[in-house]
Amino acid sequence: MESIHKQILNIITGLAQGTIFFPDKFDSIGNGDSVRQSLSRICKEGTIIRLSKGVYLFPFIDKELGVLFPSIERVAEAIAVRDKARIQPSGLYALNKLGLSTQVPMKVVFYTDGMPRKIKVGERAIIFMKSAPKKFSFKGKITPLIVAALKEIGKENITDDVLLKIKEFVKSESKEVMLEDAHVAPQWIADILLKLVNN
């Protein structure tokens, strides 16, 4: 039989480059200690990269740019999938994602219906903050970003320039989904969404 190390290495090299994975992927091969030792060795060999404690990357390496690291959002989504949890972005991250702020937050907060935790990824941190179920009722992918960004800006600080930028993102979501999601948002944000959709 192949060694645990060889079995783990074979599985990893069979993944698509750029895949984020976790030690529990290899639960059927060996116990926790043997898996961690093998992953540590494979990291030292340069085949994989440890993004954070218990979070690994089988990297895509560009000939000119070198290792292409995943975004914080991709790491957060991978953790959420593993934990069978839902996540939604918080305000500062949403502002940056929508181009309403050039500030890149060092601590990126996601609301979750899973376990609250903080995960350090390089110099940045992902914080999963427990939130009420209603926050995860949105059908679309763009609406939660828009709602979080508008909440962060505040009702009194919404300008025509902000609305113009948001309107471009509204166009990328289907009208049916946006109208349905508007009912989940706070009333003043729902009014903005409905106005942008109908115009």
Residues 57 and 85 in one domain: no
Global pTM reads 0.83
Low-confidence ranges of the chain (pLDDT < 50): none
Number of structural domains, the chain?
2
Domain boundary among 67, 94, 110: 67
Residues 114 and 47 in one domain: no
Residues 15 and 85 in one domain: no
Give the SS3 label for residue 132: coil
Q: What is the pLDDT of residue 132?
A: 86
Q: In what order do the strands lie in the sheet with 49-52?
A: 19-21, 55-58, 49-52
Q: What is the pLDDT of residue 172?
A: 87
Residues 173 and 81 in one domain: yes
Residues 6+ apart with CB under 8 A from 99: 165
Q: Within 13 Å of residue 58, how many CA atoms lie on the same side as its CB?
A: 15
Main-chain phi, psi angles of 2, to 5 degrees: -70, 150
| Interatomic CA distance for residues 166 and 36, integer angstroms | 45
Q: Is 107 exposed, middle or buried (0-12, 13-18, 19+ CB in 10 A)?
A: middle
Residues 6+ apart with CB under 8 A from 180: 139
Q: What is the pLDDT of residue 22?
A: 96
Short-list 100, 105, 127, CA closest to 116: 127
Q: What is the CATH number of the domain that holds 22?
A: 1.10.10
Q: What is the pLDDT of residue 89?
A: 87
| Interatomic CA distance for residues 101 and 95, integer angstroms | 5
Measured distance between the N- and C-terminal CA atoms of the chain, rounded to whole angstroms: 66
Residues 166 and 94 in one domain: yes
Q: What is the pLDDT of residue 162?
A: 93
Q: What is the pLDDT of residue 87?
A: 94
Residues 47 and 93 in one domain: no
Residues 148 and 130 in one domain: yes
Ramachandran region, residue 138 (left: φ > 0; alpha: ψ -120 to 50; beta: rest): beta
Q: What is the pLDDT of residue 102?
A: 84
Residues 173 and 101 in one domain: yes
Domain boundary among 36, 67, 98: 67
Residues 77 and 144 in one domain: yes
Residues 78 and 52 in one domain: no
β-pair partners for 86: none
Expressed as residue numbers, the domain containing 44 is: 4-67
- Look up residue 174 and give its two tokens: 């289907």
- Taking only the tens place, the pLDDT of each residue in 23-77 is 999 999 988 889 999 999 999 999 999 999 999 999 999 999 999 999 999 999 9
Residues 91 and 178 in one domain: yes
Contact 149, 166 (CB under 8 A): yes
Domain boundary among 32, 67, 102: 67
Residues 141 and 191 in one domain: yes
